[in-house]
Chain A
Amino acid sequence: MTITTLKLNLGPQHPSTHGVLRLILELDGEKILSCEPDIGYLHRGMEKMAEQMSYIQYLPTVDRVDYLAGFFYSELLCRIVEQAQCVELPDKVRVIRVMLLELNRMASHILWIGMFLMDLGATSPFFYTFREREMILRYFEKISGQRMMYNYFVFGGVRRDIDYLEDVEEILSILPSKLDDYEKLIEENPIFRRRVVNKGILEKETALNYAITGVNLRASGVDFDYREQDYLYKGFDIGKVILKEKDSMARYRARVLEIKESMKIVRQALDYLKKSSPLEQKLINPINLKLPEGDYYADIEAPRGIASCFVRSTGEKEPYRLKWRTGSYYSVNLLRKLLVGEYLNDAIAIAGSLDIILPEVDK
């Protein structure tokens, strides 16, 4: 008897591929024998573009590396320039940035909850999560003028002083009850549990070998959060979420818990900002800005794992080489391993649980 296998293209237009990811699956019945991710459908040449732009020209484009967590990438580029110019940020700028980063992380995780549930076939949570995310986006719009591509961080500080703090207060007061609602709606649901509990087990060693970072790594029991060593978060009390279960459910739980931890960080920042004096900052003049010759490197704990930026400068106005490291890029590579031996219908749940976002993968 010969075994015939079926080659199946999952994507690039499949709704649960979160954009344009194509997975070439080899199936035996419904069992996956191999998985080959094919990316590049959203490639915009972010790295090539950087080599032809001055730093200030490039700054508004970096929000688009990951459009759900734009602040993180602006922060990275600002950090590179500040590092090169040896600028130390005033405390208030640091706190403003931390607050916005954490709000952005919350918005990103909240959206993911809705997307993940939609992958599993539940459409209504998507609308609830969008409602909550909207509160945060409205706040971002008020302070920066944009809902998604903020361009609010500038070299040496922020665009303008923070305002509308009562909106943040409102977000912090409303969100906990909404998160409880999600928990009641989702976590005890037997259909949901059957599709995520003990599915997509990611062992600690595999995760490290595939360079998985962020929530996915912490849900596999590795105690590693880059925020701990980040100078930006100095003085903040950061609660780490480390779970031992390693399955899709753990990754879901870790994100929900991380939203709660982020809320605590935002609360600390908010308390500081309410009492603080008006913003005083010394911005770096971006006109004819040239970084001294050398290599610069910056990391940050983004919602989808460690993001980092490498810049080599030859003393010109444009970077000689700029490279982004993004968390999702490595999560896509992990699918080669994680999906093998699983059933096709679980494949979508497992891929969804890793929080892959395609603009970040294709850059």
Chain B
Amino acid sequence: MDWNKFCEVFADCELLGNKILIKSRLHDVIEFVTDNYPYDMLKEIIAIHNQDGLVELVYHLYSTIDEENLLISILVKDRAESIVDIFESAQADENEIYDLFGIKFIGNDKLKRLYMPENWEGHPLRKDYVQDDTRLCWNDDNDS
């Protein structure tokens, strides 16, 4: 795959094997990649809460034509650009990440709590999540 064109447009990217580390313009990068290269599927978005407090989002693109993977990785604090307008499947992933990591995706207005109850505080897969929450025993009368 010819990455010269890509590196011309997005100069501040780092290429590591089949993983591209980007710093900003996530939406533009994904749009550019899908327009110019045969990646036709967003397999999944993986979120990892790093020890430094930032959340790493790894966009896993896949091409069913030449069976190649491409990973695009970005570090975010609490908000990221939504790519629902490019890949509809991102709706599922972004919603999950919103629920479990508390990342707000700008441009996605359908975000809601998915696995956790609507009034739940905190996002369980973050490393700073307090686990021994008294609400876990589902006692509504518990005032403490």
A-side residues, CB < 8 A to B, are 39-40, 43, 45, 47-48, 206, 208-211, 213, 222, 224, 229, 306, 308, 310, 312, 320-321, 323, 325, 329-330, 332-333, 336-337, 362
6 interchain residue pairs of minimum CB distance: A211-B89, A333-B92, A43-B115, A40-B115, A224-B64, A325-B44
Inter-chain contacts of B64 with A (CB < 8 A) = 208, 222, 224
Considering the chains assembled together, what is the distance between the CA atoms of A211 and B89 in angstroms? 6
CB distance from A15 to the nearest CB of B (A): 23
Considering the chains assembled together, what is the distance between the CA atoms of A310 and B43 in angstroms? 12
Considering the chains assembled together, what is the distance between the CA atoms of A45 and B96 in angstroms? 12
Q: What sequence of 0s and 1s flags, for each residue 106-137 of chain B, a beta carbon within 8 Å of any chain A beta carbon?
A: 00000001111000000011000000000000
Which one, B40, B88, B92, B100, contacts A332 given CB within 8 A?
B92
Considering the chains assembled together, what is the distance between the CA atoms of A210 and B90 in angstroms? 8
B41 interface residue (CB < 8 Å to A): yes
Residue pairs across A and B with Cβ atoms less than 8 A apart, 10 shown, are A40-B116, A47-B100, A47-B125, A208-B41, A209-B88, A211-B87, A229-B67, A321-B48, A325-B43, A362-B115
Q: Are A330 and B124 in contact (CB under 8 A)?
A: no
Q: Are B43 and A320 in contact (CB under 8 A)?
A: no
Inter-chain contacts of A333 with B (CB < 8 A) = 88-89, 91-92
Q: Tell me the interface secondary structure of chain A in the complex.
A: mixed
Which one, A306, A321, A329, contacts B92 given CB within 8 A?
A329
- A47-B125, A48-B124, A48-B125 known; A209-B116 Cβ under 8 A: no
Considering the chains assembled together, what is the distance between the CA atoms of A43 and B44 in angstroms? 19
B42 interface residue (CB < 8 Å to A): yes
B20 interface residue (CB < 8 Å to A): no
Q: Are A210 and B89 in contact (CB under 8 A)?
A: yes
Q: Are B91 and A321 in contact (CB under 8 A)?
A: no
Considering the chains assembled together, what is the distance between the CA atoms of A23 and B71 in angstroms? 32
Considering the chains assembled together, what is the distance between the CA atoms of A222 and B87 in angstroms? 18
New contact pairs (18) apart from A40-B114, A308-B44, A321-B48, CB-CB < 8 Å: A43-B115, A208-B41, A208-B64, A209-B41, A210-B88, A211-B42, A211-B87, A211-B92, A213-B41, A308-B43, A329-B92, A330-B89, A332-B92, A333-B88, A333-B89, A333-B92, A337-B88, A362-B115
Considering the chains assembled together, what is the distance between the CA atoms of A222 and B44 in angstroms? 19
B22 interface residue (CB < 8 Å to A): no
CB distance from B102 to the nearest CB of A (A): 14
Closest to A299 in B: B43
Inter-chain contacts of A208 with B (CB < 8 A) = 40-41, 64
CB distance from A36 to the nearest CB of B (A): 8
Closest to A306 in B: B43
Inter-chain contacts of A312 with B (CB < 8 A) = 48
Inter-chain contacts of A40 with B (CB < 8 A) = 113-116
Considering the chains assembled together, what is the distance between the CA atoms of A289 and B89 in angstroms? 36
Considering the chains assembled together, what is the distance between the CA atoms of A210 and B89 in angstroms? 4
CB distance from B8 to the nearest CB of A (A): 28
